[in-house]
A and B are shown apart, each in its own frame.
Chain A
Amino acid sequence: MQGHRHLEIEGLRAGYGATAVLEAIDLSVPRGAFVALLGASGCGKSTLLRAIAGFEMPQAGRILRDGVEITALPPDRRGMSMVFQSYALWPHKTVAQHLAYGLALRRLPRAAIAARVADVLAMLGLDGLEGRKPGALSGGQRQRVALGRALAVEPEILLLDEPLSNLDARIRLQLRTEIRALQQRLGITTILVTHDREEAMVMADRIAILDRGRILQQGSPQDIYTRPGSAFVAAFMGAENLLPLEAVAEGGQVILAGSDWNAPLLVPNLAPGPVELRFRPAGGALCPIDAPPPAAGTLSLFGTVASCSYPGDGWLHRVQIGPASVEALAPRAHPAGSRVRLDLPPDRVFLFAASADGRGAAIGPGSRGDRTGPILPAAQARPERSFT
């Protein structure tokens, strides 16, 4: 289904006056792909989507569709449909009028419009609501109308601006799979803006992580999840547990120095200096302090259980390890106060050179730099460009 580059963005810069919201954005979207722009609020992801739609005029750079530049084209001539975060439904129009509006603008015959509206109503489960105005619809129904309005014109490119953020959790879960299935069925090139990691991972087949107006990393959901390129991406992808460690040169190799809270470990591709260890609560195995030693290459951390709760899918422990309080998920409960060992297999460990802004560059086994990558000096700040 995926083919040549459908939408391309080259060196895009946007902002207000001297304040840059987006800087040097490069993004390539194949035909039929579902790309998620993921980032915290204020990272520029919505601005990027609006620039693609033609609502923001970029200060520099180009936007191309099928190789043709559309950077300066007005929004009504771009052949893209957008679903707005606020839904942006028209309070004075009925559901049917919403769905028919774009078709009427294309001067389709009345019968063809009616047939298409009926199709979309059925496709989105809106049958029977065609005469209602937005004020008489629930949140989920409004969302479907907004989606239907965008899909009715059979766009080549669908832009979704946080389309599910105003819905309650249950409907959100249902709609995200529905939208994904619909996109797959119709083969529409889709760009989704979201701040919800799980939403991006479930819906998209490619994710671009934005921070402060730049794309930090892009790749498949699994790729970004398992090999985050920076501390920021790791934290954003759920590796919130943070522990400061020290890498030292020893006998021609660089090892993670042992301390009261960790065993020493030889790690390939490590540069000496302060190191940020990041891992997910489910990333390690929690066991009593005197359990049999783990497999080679495992990073062992020692701490004391501070608290223990059951959120489902195992017991969630808050463990004090050295200076840090981390979360660890375990199949059985370890009582508060007990001394424990947390074993992290190499592929669950994310090591980054410690940096002042907390967006440290990747080093070590779990990183994008990997065994063949360059050894990054510890002092280096976050990378200027994504690693992809």
Chain B
Amino acid sequence: MNATLPSDGPRPGPFGSGQPAPTAMQTAPHHPPFRRRAALPLAGLALVAPALLSVLVFFVLPLAASVEGAFRTPEGRGLANFVKLAELYRADILFTLLIVGLSTLLTGLIATAIAGYLTLGQNPRAVAILRWLYRWPLFIPFVVTAQIMRTFLAKSGMLNASLSTLGLADAATLGSWLDWRGIVLAFVWKQTPFVTLLLAGAMAALDRGTIEAARNLGASRFRVLWDIVLPQAARTLMTGLILSFVTMMSVLSVPLMINAQSPTMITADIAFRINAYGDYGVANALGVVSLLMTGAFAILYLRLGLRERR
């Protein structure tokens, strides 16, 4: 609104205050060098070229080669790899979708709860402690997360020990949690801080008045979160969840360490196809399926971004 205010900096005009009266020589107007603009497109292209080339050589070409490899069979181009994939890994593809979908949902719920408390919490000490605590998993790699979960969720792990100590369950009947539940737990544990970070930032940037106006009208804090805060931060939440979904789709260490038996996730299958059989064809086909799944979300993300800019 105040963009038209003149700047405080020195003016380009030759009659600035305190300057001596200009002589005839000095009064010639000093035009900005418009002509240089003409050379810009080429110069710009030259500046962009290295980055563009890197993207082409290191990203687009390998991706294209991988996609092309999915259709390459000993008998020439064909869909044989996909037929094999459908036979062997249909369950795993569904399993992957369900696990990552459930993890994304839980991540969204917990991140909303944490970010909501950070925004609306009234106990400053509790808010400060939560703000300090929740980020820790951000700095722990997936493989270490999986390692932590292995010791935590094993049959004789900390979770079962705690449950039986508290008398909530009998240690003898408790089994290992290292199946799909373990993967979901590891994913949610690792991804929640990331989504919370984005979401809490968006919530903190809201006009506090919109929150206070609802409180003032009699809305509880939960109602304020649901009716006022979340709708205004929904796009950021969606962005965080989409990025999270794509990240989880690409994690190998967690399914490999927590649950490598059938059914498992696509990433573990790809690794297995390559390491055990040297079967790049089916591995590439699995990659294409994974790409299609994340691609759908990437399109969603781009559309959100476009709407935001409007």
Contact = CB atoms under 8 A, between A and B. Distances in A.
Interface of A: 53, 55, 74-77, 80-82, 84-92, 101-102, 105-106, 146, 149-150, 153
Contacts of A89: 210, 213
A80 B215 CA distance: 11
Contacts of B227: 101
B214 A81 contact: no
Interface string B222-248: 010001100110000000000000000
Contact of A90 (B215, B220, B223, B228): B228
Nearest to B231: A92
A318 B223 CA distance: 59
A82 B218 contact: no
A301 B229 CA distance: 62
Contacts of A81: 216-217
Contacts of B210: 88-91
B219 interface: yes
Given A88-B207, A90-B228, A92-B231, A102 B218 contact: yes
Contacts of A92: 231-232
Interface residues of B, number: 17
Nearest to A74: B215
B231 A75 contact: no
B217 A88 contact: no
A48 to B, nearest CB: 15
B212 interface: yes
B218 A76 contact: yes
A55 B224 CA distance: 15
B120 to A, nearest CB: 12
A105 B219 contact: yes
A311 B218 CA distance: 48
29 contacts: A53-B212, A55-B215, A74-B215, A75-B212, A75-B216, A76-B217, A76-B219, A77-B218, A84-B209, A84-B212, A84-B213, A88-B213, A89-B210, A90-B210, A90-B213, A90-B214, A90-B228, A90-B231, A90-B232, A91-B210, A92-B231, A101-B214, A101-B219, A102-B217, A102-B218, A106-B218, A149-B217, A150-B217, A153-B218
Contacts of B220: 76
- What 8 pairs across the A-B complex have the smallest Cβ distances? A88-B209, A102-B217, A88-B213, A84-B209, A92-B231, A75-B215, A105-B218, A76-B218
B213 A82 contact: yes
Given A75-B215, A76-B215, A90-B228, 20 more contacts: A53-B212, A55-B212, A74-B215, A76-B217, A76-B220, A81-B216, A82-B213, A84-B209, A84-B213, A85-B209, A88-B210, A89-B210, A90-B231, A91-B210, A91-B232, A92-B231, A146-B213, A149-B217, A150-B216, A153-B218
Contacts of B232: 90-92
Given A55-B212, A89-B210, A101 B217 contact: yes
Given A92-B231, A92-B232, A86 B207 contact: yes
Contacts of A146: 213
